Structure 1
Amino acid sequence: MKRRAAVIGLGHQALEDHLPGLLASSRADLVAICDSNPNTLRQQQELLQVPGFIHAGELLDTAAPDFVIVAVPHHAGRDVVRECAARGVHVLKEKPFATSVEEARELAQVCRAGEVELMVTLQRRFNPIYTSVAGLLDQIGTPFLIDGQYTFHTDDPGAGWRGDVRQAGGGCIIDMGYHLIDLLLWYFGLPSRVIAEFSTTAVPGGGYDAEDTAVIQLGYDTDLYGSLLLSRWMAPKSEHLHVVGTRGSVLLSKGRVQRLDLDGTVVEELTRPHAPASAATAQIDHFCRVLDGDRPNTSGPDQHLAHAAFIASCYRSKDAGRYIDPKEML
């Protein structure tokens, strides 16, 4: 029997990924939607032909979903998760998991107390391009250098709630950077030292305080070290993670992963240009299997405490002017 699913928050991510993913799912049916904007809600109701609600609590009580996909602004996520946990409704939550380590701990406890599963949406984990990386890394000797980059240009990087630290928890590090940080932690674990430089100066007088550009330096207790460049101002659009080892390297980009010889010759390559559309559905179906007890939840609150610690270390290092050990944040 299919799971009853609802979507709370009808912004870009919900419209582009979560709703299409749900409609294509073989394990879940969309039974309701929710958004605080009446016009957005009415438009999607007419399109999807499902009940719509302004308030999350009303949706939860009336539609009685098995789980909800929560895709609300960062600052609103905590209250929605609390409402779901109080009713025993499971949560597939748009990243980030939380806006601080303290909030992450609180939400983890809320989910435990409510006996609900929460999984953070990270679609790259359901794309074979990204899942194949671990095996390729085993073939490049000892990795010692990481070069990560995720950049794109938007004319107004401080637009809306994303430009307000109080609402967003931060800028490009906690928002778009969450994907690159997740790959780093997935493949290598939590670093032992982090230091970040970031700014809000791309638009002089822009009136926002959430960073538009950041450079993060990091290192491990081994000889592995590297940097991440994040920007929502810098063109052209670029997304890559390059890991260099003693016998070669692995270059991961959107839709492609390559293993390179020492001189840069491509030894093997995997491409999957149509993965993004299917990854959203794969993620939803996986969560249904988690709820059925057939799969482990590897993207739950306990795992994402590490993400919160890494991000908090970036912001603290800027204030302290020195490296911070993310493990100390835990």
Structure 2
Amino acid sequence: MKRRAAVIGLGHQAVEDHLPGLAGSSMAGLVAVCDSDPGTLRAQQQTLRVPGFTDVRQMLDEVKPDFVIVAVPHHVGRQVVQECAAQGVHVLKEKPFATSPEEARELAKVCRLGQIELMVTLQRRFNPIHASTIGLLDQIGTPFLIDGQYTFHTDHPGAGWRGDVRQAGGGCILDMGYHLIDLLLWYFGLPDRIIAEFSATAQPDADYDAEDTAVIQLGYDNDLYGSLLLSRWVAPKTERLHVVGTRGSVQLTGGTVQRLNLDGTVAEELSRPHAPASAATAQIDHFCRVLDGERPNTSGPDQHLAHAAFIASCYRSKAAGRYVNPNEML
């Protein structure tokens, strides 16, 4: 029998990823949707044909789903998770897990007390290309340099709630940068020092304060170091992680990973261009297996304390004008 799932928040992420992911799932089915905007709700209900709600608590009371997929603005996430935990409803939450280390610790406690599973949605963890990268990294000797980039151009980088730090908690570092930061932590763990420079000046006449572009310098005590470039202004759209070692390098892009020889020639290459289309379904099915006790939850609250510490270190380092050790925030 399929698990009963509801979707809270019907913005771009839900429409493009989570709803199609549920449609393709063999382990879960959509039973309700919820959005605070009645117009958005009506538009989606016409095609989804499931009950719709504008109030989360009412939906939980009446539908009693097994789990919910939460894709709401960052400042709303805490309240939604708290309401779900109070009713024992499991949560598959769109990133970020939290907007600060303090909020991350609070939400982790809420989940423990409510005895619910919470897993953060990070589709790249369910893309075989990204998973295969770990094995290739083992073949390049001792890695010592990281060069990461995730950029795209949007005409209005500060539009809506994403441009307001009070609502979003941060800009490109906290939001889109979460994916690249997750890959870094997955492959190498939490750095020992971080310093960031960022700005919200791509559109000088626009009224927003959440950073649109950032450069993060990072280092580990084992002599691994590097930088990340994040931007929602810089074209063309680029997603790349290049790791250089003593015997070669690995270059990861959206749908391809290459292991390169020292002279830059390709030693081996793996490509799966259609993986993102199935990653959302794979993520939902994995979460169902977590709920069934068949899989570990490797993207739960405890793991994402490190993400919160990394991101907070970026903002703190900018204010302090010096490197910050994110491990001190755990």
Global fold match (TM > 0.5) = yes
Read off the aligned partner of 1:123 and give its amino acid letter.
Q
Please state how far the C-alpha of 1:279 moved relative to its aligned partner. Answer: 0.2
Report the 3-state secondary structure (helix = DSSP H, G, I; strand = E; otherwise coil) of the residue aligned with 2:136. helix
Q: How far, CA to CA, are the matches of 1:46 and 1:239 in structure 2?
A: 35
Q: 1:150-161 residue pairs with structure 2 within 5 A?
A: 150-161=150-161
**Aligned residue for 1:19?**
19
1:6-55 Cα offsets, whole Å, 9 max, x none, are 00000000000000000110000100000011111011111010000001
**Aligned residue for 1:206?**
206
Q: 1:106-185 residue pairs with structure 2 within 5 A?
A: 106-185=106-185
Read off the aligned partner of 1:291 and give its amino acid letter.
L
**Aligned residue for 1:295?**
295
Q: How far, CA to CA, are the matches of 1:77 and 1:275 in structure 2?
A: 28
Q: How far, CA to CA, are the matches of 2:157 and 2:58 in structure 1?
A: 34
1:73-104 Cα offsets, whole Å, 9 max, x none, are 00000000000000000000000000111000
Report the 3-state secondary structure (helix = DSSP H, G, I; strand = E; otherwise coil) of the residue aligned with 1:132. helix
Instruction: Confirm or deny that 1:3 pairs with 2:31.
Output: no
Q: How far, CA to CA, are the matches of 1:217 and 1:115 in structure 2?
A: 38
**Aligned residue for 2:93?**
93
Please state how far the C-alpha of 1:206 moved relative to its aligned partner. Answer: 1.0
**Aligned residue for 1:189?**
189
Q: How far, CA to CA, are the matches of 2:247 and 2:134 in structure 1?
A: 15
1:196-221 Cα offsets, whole Å, 9 max, x none, are 00001100121100000000000001
Please state how far the C-alpha of 1:69 moved relative to its aligned partner. Answer: 0.1
Q: How far, CA to CA, are the matches of 2:29 and 2:287 in structure 1?
A: 13
Percent of pairs with identical residues: 82
Report the 3-state secondary structure (helix = DSSP H, G, I; strand = E; otherwise coil) of the residue aligned with 1:5. strand
Q: How far, CA to CA, are the matches of 1:189 and 1:257 in structure 2?
A: 20
Segments of structure 1 that go 5 or more residues without pairing to the other structure are: none
**Aligned residue for 1:217?**
217
Q: How far, CA to CA, are the matches of 2:136 and 2:273 in structure 1?
A: 19
Report the 3-state secondary structure (helix = DSSP H, G, I; strand = E; otherwise coil) of the residue aligned with 2:58. helix
Q: How far, CA to CA, are the matches of 1:272 and 1:14 in structure 2?
A: 23
Read off the aligned partner of 2:259 and give its amino acid letter.
R
Q: How far, CA to CA, are the matches of 1:205 and 1:325 in structure 2?
A: 35
Report the 3-state secondary structure (helix = DSSP H, G, I; strand = E; otherwise coil) of the residue aligned with 1:140. coil
RMSD over aligned Cα atoms: 0.4
Q: How far, CA to CA, are the matches of 1:224 and 1:188 in structure 2?
A: 9
Instruction: Confirm or deny that 1:227 pairs with 2:233.
Output: no
Deviation beyond 6 Å, 4+ runs, structure 1? none
Q: How far, CA to CA, are the matches of 1:226 and 1:54 in structure 2?
A: 45
Read off the aligned partner of 2:168 and give its amino acid letter.
A
Segments of structure 2 that go 5 or more residues without pairing to the other structure are: none
Q: How far, CA to CA, are the matches of 1:50 and 1:13 in structure 2?
A: 19
Q: How far, CA to CA, are the matches of 1:46 and 1:206 in structure 2?
A: 36
- Give the number of aligned pairs: 330
Read off the aligned partner of 2:143 and give its amino acid letter.
P
Report the 3-state secondary structure (helix = DSSP H, G, I; strand = E; otherwise coil) of the residue aligned with 2:139. coil
**Aligned residue for 1:284?**
284
Report the 3-state secondary structure (helix = DSSP H, G, I; strand = E; otherwise coil) of the residue aligned with 2:227. strand
Which sits farther off after the overlay, 281-290 or 43-52?
43-52
Report the 3-state secondary structure (helix = DSSP H, G, I; strand = E; otherwise coil) of the residue aligned with 2:252. strand
